[in-house]
Structure 1
Amino acid sequence: MFTVSVRTDIKRVAKALDDLARKQLPFATAQAINATAQIVKLAEQENMRKVLDAPTPFTVNSIAVKRATKSDLVALVYVKPVAASYLLPYETGGLNKLNSQALLKPISAKVNQYGNLPRNLVKRLSAKPNVFVGKVQTKAGVVDGVWQRTKQTRGKRAGLKLMIKFEDAHEATQRLDFRGVGQRVVASTFRGELDKAIAKAMAAAR
């Protein structure tokens, strides 16, 4: 978690306001903070789509906003806990988090539109009589994964076909820069959102 303060902007604006406008400042500030937080959320989601390889809607929609009020001028843009647990290495570095004992790398198995294997696919495949899970000695070395026994066809001998390869966790090389994206958006948008919110609040007060 990180903090971006806009107190300096608010103090500068407050000095230039008359008494009526100053009374509207807490409400206008809350509106401006919330508008900025929403822009930060959209920017973080767009950045995810650029940095990560076809992130799922669950991952993109894990960015959420806790809104500010005029009595609590703090908004929070955060990643929901489940997604945060596997996105953290793409922010701070380290090994990617595995959903099981190994990273499942599709080889010949069908994937969904996001390049991911369907849920419980290994279990369903391993239940088939011509499929097994285990290690096989290949020319490239021992390979652990889900294998399919293929039938002999015209011009092709029977053999083994690797469907899913089991790999260890590896270093997450992409960086989301969640902090940097948020700071840049706040710096470029908050003052404009505050001016708009004050003007709107003044129009409603008159």
Structure 2
Amino acid sequence: MTATIINADLSVARAALAEFADAQLPFAIASTLNAAANGTRRNWRAIAKQRIDKPKRFTLDALTIVSRATKRRLVVEMAFGPKQRDYLRPSFEGGERGRKAIETLAGAPRGVPSKAVERDAAGNVPRKVYSAIYSRLLARDKSIVRDPPGVAPGIYLRKGRTFVPLFFTVPHTAYAKRFDMDADIVAVTRRELSKAAPKAIERALLTANREAAKLRRDAAKAARATARAARATAG
């Protein structure tokens, strides 16, 4: 049996791989990170809808991309907005929620809305209601009364000789932890990275091939121009 030995000069391949690593690999990594960040943000909305009862846009848009990756800076920064983070912390960690401005102004520990207070379609007290009561408290409107006699502690609306409860005051409003935000976000990000990487590398290879083809065309054009000039000189 005759042995066939194939010798390959790998210098060209090594040079091509080195060029790809230097020029296109950072682009591929940056693209992967940015695509994964976009996917993580989309998935946060799905997580919020699954774990939180009727979340509003304020909650759905809580996770933002602070800065994107570039070829020179292969880092993506994502964060929850400060207000959303404070609002959602009891869902992430459990425990006491932060005090609302209206509670601080009224000197109330915590407020629980009564049935008389307007609700939106999701069952939450609209911001405009809080703002209206807050403004009246700030203006020392005598129709808004804190802890009138003979009724449960709270903030009331005076109507003649009667008092309509707006918010009942309670010492604590403790929440149970609803989900592990860190674990959920990490799991989603890993999944998005594994989806984004192959596509980003494929795009980088296509870009490298296009650039290499352009370089070859330019080199051939220069060679033809040199040959024409040489013939003209010889003639």
**Larger RCO of the pair (alpha carbons < 8 Å, separation 6+):** 1
The size of the alignment, in residue pairs, is 180
**2: distance between equivalents of 1:146 and 1:104?**
12
192, 196, 201: which one pairs with 2:204?
A: 201
Structure 1 gap ranges (5+): 1-16, 151-157
Task: State whether residues 96 and 172 of structure 2, in contact with CA within 8 Å, keep that contact through their aligned partners in structure 1.
Answer: yes
Task: State whether residues 93 and 172 of structure 1, in contact with CA within 8 Å, keep that contact through their aligned partners in structure 2.
Answer: yes
Read off the aligned partner of 1:22 and give its amino acid letter: A
- Tell me which residue corresponds to 2:99: 98
Relative to the length of structure 1, the TM-score reads: 0.72
More strand by share: 1
Query: Where in structure 2 are the equivalents of 1:57-206 lying within 5 Å?
Result: 57-65=57-65, 66-100=67-101, 101=104, 102=108, 103-107=110-114, 108-114=116-122, 115-117=124-126, 118=128, 119-123=130-134, 132-138=145-151, 142-149=152-159, 159-206=162-209
Quote how far apart the aligned CAs of 1:55 are.
3.1
Relative to the length of structure 2, the TM-score reads: 0.64
- Tell me which residue corresponds to 1:22: 21
Quote how far apart the aligned CAs of 1:122 are.
1.8
**1:130–1:192 Cα change, 3 Å:** closer
Task: State whether residues 134 and 144 of structure 1, in contact with CA within 8 Å, keep that contact through their aligned partners in structure 2.
Answer: yes
Backbone CA RMSD of aligned residues: 2.8
- Tell me which residue corresponds to 2:53: 53
**1: distance between equivalents of 2:143 and 2:72?**
65
Quote how far apart the aligned CAs of 1:179 are.
1.1
Which one is further off, 127-136 or 189-198?
A: 127-136
Task: State whether residues 62 and 83 of structure 1, in contact with CA within 8 Å, keep that contact through their aligned partners in structure 2.
Answer: yes
Task: State whether residues 45 and 61 of structure 2, in contact with CA within 8 Å, keep that contact through their aligned partners in structure 1.
Answer: yes
More helix by share: 2
**1:113–1:89 Cα change, 3 Å:** same
**2: distance between equivalents of 1:131 and 1:192?**
56
**1:199–1:169 Cα change, 3 Å:** same
In the alignment, does 2:38 pair up with 1:38?
yes
Per the alignment, in what secondary structure is the counterpart of residue 175 of structure 2? coil
**1:90–1:177 Cα change, 3 Å:** same
**2: distance between equivalents of 1:59 and 1:200?**
34
Structure 2 gap ranges (5+): 1-15, 210-235
**1: distance between equivalents of 2:28 and 2:169?**
54
**1:52–1:121 Cα change, 3 Å:** farther
